[in-house]
Structure 1
Amino acid sequence: MASYPLTVFFDGACPICDREIALMRRLDRRGRLKFSDFSRPDFAPTSINISPAELGRIIHARWGDGTVITGVDVFRAMWEAVGLGFLARLSRLSLVEPLVVKAYAWFARNRLRLTGRPTACAGDTCSSAPSGRHSS
């Protein structure tokens, strides 16, 4: 396993995403997780060298050693970090893993529509109506 902290890049303007991150913050009693909201105006894409548009396409995280992980692996790493390793192990079971991967891929493709936000991106930025909520 790579080294902590695990920095998770998330969309704080996505209500579903924001709730998941809020839960992880509450459960992170060992201080293993850090969070970076790429929807904030002060977000610096150079901190990960991945465009906000790509960060919005699929969840990304970076281990303390610089290793970047994406998608379901980010959730597994967060679950393990906060003591919910059984969820990570469950998600890796041969009958469960394909379902988890497909469910996340569907959510990632549809999350903007599901949360009532526009899906158009121009260059390295995606437009969205401000939610009035941002986590840092």
Structure 2
Amino acid sequence: MPHYEIFYDDACPMCRFEVLRLLRKDVNRHFTAIDISHPQFAASQYGEGLEMNKMQQLLHVRRDDGVMLIGVDTIAALYRSIGSRWWTGPLTWRLTRPTVARLYAWVARHRYRISALLGFAPRCHDGICRL
């Protein structure tokens, strides 16, 4: 089974919740989570062609063979790797994938607002919380 580097936005409460949930379900330790919102994160240190502005738009995952997955492909791959195949079909089916990809891109674009609407707690450090 491949190893996955998950490039996620820890400043997004909903994103952080989902990645932590994936990490808990990753009993075989195939995931490494990398916070792209960390002040010292530089996309260039993780490979040529990675751009911060694109990484902030959609979830990026790199497999250990160097293949980069983006958007709904990342979600399908990660959930399949933890044994949750049953619901990932619509993410990859030819007829549903375009709609799901557009919906995911919309959610990703509005992730901070959606996080707040869903009641996810902001990240807090030293008494300062931000969304």
TM-score bucket (shorter structure) = 0.7 to 0.9
Is the contact between residue 60 and residue 71 of structure 1 (CA under 8 Å) also seen in structure 2?
A: yes
Q: Is the 8 A contact 2:6 2:31 kept in 1?
A: yes
After TM superposition, give the deviation of residue 89 of structure 1 in Å. 2.2
Which amino acid letter does the alignment assign opposite residue 77 of structure 2?
A
Match of residue 124 from structure 1? none
Does residue 63 of structure 1 match 2:63?
Answer: yes
Question: Which residue, out of 32, 41, 44, partners 1:43?
Answer: 41
The answer to whether structure 1 residue 97 and structure 2 residue 89 are counterparts is no
AA partner of residue 48 (structure 1): G
Q: Secondary structure at the match of 1:23?
A: helix
CA deviations over 1:11-66 (Å, ceiling 9, x no partner): 00000100110110111011111110111123232113423222101111101011
How far is the alpha carbon of 1:90 from its aligned partner?
A: 4.1
Structure 1 window deviating more from structure 2 (50-59 vs 65-74): it is 50-59
* Aligned counterparts of 1:66 and 1:92: Cα–Cα separation in 2: 21
- Aligned residue in 2 for 1:54: 54
* 1:3-14 correspondence runs (5 A): 4-14=2-12
* Structure 2: runs of 5+ lacking an equivalent: 117-121, 126-131
Which letter maps to 2:39?
P
Instruction: Detail structure 1 runs of 4+ shifted over 4 Å in the superposition.
Output: none
The TM-score normalised by the length of structure 1 is 0.75
% identity of equivalent residues? 29
Secondary structure of 2:88's counterpart equals: helix
**CA-to-aligned-CA distance 1:69-123 (integer Å, 9 cap, x gap):** 100000001101111011222433455434322220111222234346xxxxxxx
Over 3 Å counting, the alpha-carbon distance change for 1:95 and 1:64 in structure 2 is same
- CA RMSD of the aligned region, Å? 2.1
Q: Which amino acid aligns with 1:9?
A: F
The 1:48/1:86 distance shift into structure 2, 3 A limit, reads farther
For the structure 1 residues 106 and 83, does the alpha-carbon distance in structure 2 shift closer, same or farther, using more than 3 Å as the test? same
The residue aligned with 2:129 is: none
How far apart in 1 are the matches of 2:114 and 2:14?
9
